[in-house]
Amino acid sequence: MKTKQHIPRKNLITRSPYPGSKKIHIKGSMHGINVAMRAIDLSGKSYITYDTSGPYTHSEVDINIHQGLKKIREPWILTRNDVEQHQQTKQKPDCTPSHIVYRAKTGQKVTQMAYAKKGIITPEMEYVAIRENQQLREMKKIFADAVHKHPGQSFGIPMPEEEISPEFVRKEIAEGRAILPVNINHPEVEPMIIGSRFLVKINANIGNSISSSCIEEEVEKAVWACRWGADTIMDLSTGEYIQETREWILRNSPVPVGTVPIYQALEKVDGYAYELTWDLLKETIIEQAEQGVDYITIHAGLLKRHIPLTDGRLTGIVSRGGSILAKWCLMHQQENFIYDNFDELCHIVAQYDMGLSLGDGLRPGCLADANDKAQFAELETLGELTQKAWKQDVQVMIEGPGHVPLQLIKENVEKQQRNCFGAPFYTLGPITTDITPGYDHISSAIGAANIGWYGTSMLCYVTPKEHLGLPDKNDVKQGVIAYKLAAHVADLAKGHPAAQLRDNLMSKARFEFRWQDQFALSLDPDTAIEFHQAAKSKESSDSEHFCSMCGPKFCSMKATKEFRDQFQTKPEHH
């Protein structure tokens, strides 16, 4: 692994605030924390909403990516007095921002699950409680005329009625139904939670393969993904500057960062799966834990006996990690070394509060292979591993497919929830048809909205380039928006208490022809403004009661307004 003296150019990083919005901070009552949120200005009144963009959209904050973001969690971590400074195992890459490495003191448990089980509400837990909906009650008063709500339909998952309290957060973490991925070595992160009773989250994969990307671009890709709504990012780099790239991303990421350590381990043995060992992977995981990786994908559930179950498949094994481990098992004729060393793995990650994302190495790679014996056999093993991890207070989520036809999606969530005792489900898509290369973000947004509705907690995005090539910056945006959209559709359908108001405010703004408010409430104001400007005729102003779609004669909303005005006072006009 080489390192390169790469100095990011500051002007590559997107820093503008969202149109019509400003960053605000809401103070917590328990820990004096300040929760960053976004206030959307609606003709003078503020609608406050979740904000994944970090300080990058806060115009008053000066960001120097050589120093990294402010370490907001550091005082919280040090106050707990259960960690100690530690010599970094692998030398920090040159030029990367300064970073003190912590590890749990011997005998201490430093995971959010450990605290939660002891009944402790951490600042992190209070942070996510506020983030999820604490302002809602007040906002409902302000926007009382837009409060309409349909009952949600949450399959076996009772949603909180009105408010998500810090105690509710603690309980969900203690019982393993939610994870709050925050490595003690990633103090820059703004805490967030992944669980079926919270807002559905989305992940964006970034990272270069071979040498098609450079480090500055990857940092900007992270910032860019967060701007459009990524709740976590996974750095899937497999190239030469893997460690350095990750360091830059971590020091500048306001959201949790996940990785797949086996990719880096494989780099260390020049791509020869046969040479992989537990010690090599362990060393890699420790390096990443010290850097601050918040969660790692581990393919510990793919067992040697599962491999023959894939024989009749149309597309075999399509998980990269899964195929590496299957190859290893077959070549050595031994059991998966991660499965065999899972307890030690848990012991290691618990010292950093690095979460485990139990990978589905046998996920289907096409609709024909969906929900087959191989996939479900591995899922059962993931359930066994979940309980092992929980015993050591390690936070766990379970990865899921992939490619699934619409009518088989629900079975995935039901089986996962049952086999894995309610642990959060984290799915890739799923794609619902195989014939849409170039449009797989749409084909999979359909699957994602449905699987989110059924109870999946986080959706890993798919970009338009899936199956064709690596995503560029625009693809990242297209993927993130499609998934933010799908997650929100799922939130609405489940009845998350904070989900409906924004839609109603948009609808009200639409009926009242408040175009600027419509743009500000859009998932992507830039595109809404651009499309509208292109269409708007020179004559009409923003406040006119019709738009370029139907013209003045055919505007139904204008007509409704007219006859409402006319017939409210004189119902017998003619």
Nearer to its own copies, 291 or 450 (CB): 450
Find the helix packing angle between 440-454 and 409-419, rounded to 10°.
50
- The conformation of residue 305, written as its DSSP 8-state character, comes to G
CB closer to its own copies out of 30 and 535: 535
Phi, psi of 468 (to 5 degrees): -125, -35
- Closest to its own copies by CB, 101 vs 325, is 325
Q: How far is the CB of 431 from its own copies (least distance, A)?
A: 9
Q: How far is the CB of 164 from its own copies (least distance, A)?
A: 20
CA gyration radius for the chain? 24
Q: Which is nearer to its own copies, 127 or 519 (CB)?
A: 519
Give 91 or 407: the residue with its C-beta nearer to its own copies.
407
Minimum distance, C-beta of residue 464 to its own copies, in the bound complex (Å): 7
Distance of closest approach, residue 492 Cβ to its own copies, in angstroms:
5
CB of 294 to its own copies, least distance (A): 23
Length of the chain: 574
For every residue of 175-228, DSSP letters joined together read TTSEE----TT-TT-----EETTSPPEEEEEE--STTSS-HHHHHHHHHHHHHH
Measure the CA–CA gap between 349 and 279, rounded to whole angstroms. Answer: 15
Give the nearer residue to its own copies in terms of CB position, either 89 or 277. Answer: 277
Residue 67 or 212: the one with the smaller Cβ distance to its own copies is 212
Residue carrying the six token digits 């999606």: 409
CA distance 255 to 188: 8
Q: How far apart, in whole angstroms, are the C-alpha atoms of residue 563 and residue 115?
A: 60
Smallest separation, CB 537 to its own copies (Å): 8
CA dist., res. 106 & res. 195, Å (int): 30
Q: What phi and psi, each to the nearest 5 degrees, are found at residue 295?
A: -150, 150
- Residue 357: how many other CB atoms lie within 10 Å: 28
251 or 441: CB nearest its own copies:
441
How far apart (Å, rounded) are the C-alpha atoms in residues 501 and 159?
16
- The residue among 476 and 485 lying less far from its own copies, judged by its C-beta, is 485
Q: Is the peptide bond before 402 cis (omega within 30 degrees of 0)?
A: yes
Q: How far is CA 499 from CA 123, 152, 199, 491, in A?
A: 24, 10, 8, 6
Compare residues 48 and 547 and give the one whose CB is closer to its own copies. Answer: 547
Q: In whole angstroms, what is the distance from residue 428 CA to residue 539 CA?
A: 47
Q: Phi-psi region for residue 394, left (φ > 0), alpha (ψ -120 to 50) or beta? A: beta
Shortest reach from residue 118's CB to its own copies, in Å: 37
- The least distance separating its own copies from the CB of residue 320, rounded to whole angstroms, comes to 5
Q: How far is the CB of 32 from its own copies (least distance, A)?
A: 33
Q: Which tokens go with 165?
A: 């309290």
Nearer to its own copies, 167 or 335 (CB): 335
Q: How near is the Cβ of 336 to its own copies at its closest, in Å? A: 14
Which spans in 457-499 are helix H? 473-494
Strand pairing of 201-206 and 458-460?
parallel
User: What is the smallest separation between the CB atom of 124 and its own copies, expressed in angstroms?
Assistant: 28
What is the closest distance, in whole angstroms, from the C-beta atom of residue 478 to its own copies in the complex? Answer: 9
Q: Is 355 helix (H, G, I), strand (E, B) or coil?
A: strand
Instruction: Return the bridge partners of 400, or none.
Output: 427
CA–CA separation, 144 and 135 (whole Å): 14
HEC-encoded secondary structure of 384-440: HHHHHHHHCCCCEEEEECCECCHHHHHHHHHHHHHHCCCCCEEEECCECCCCCCCCH
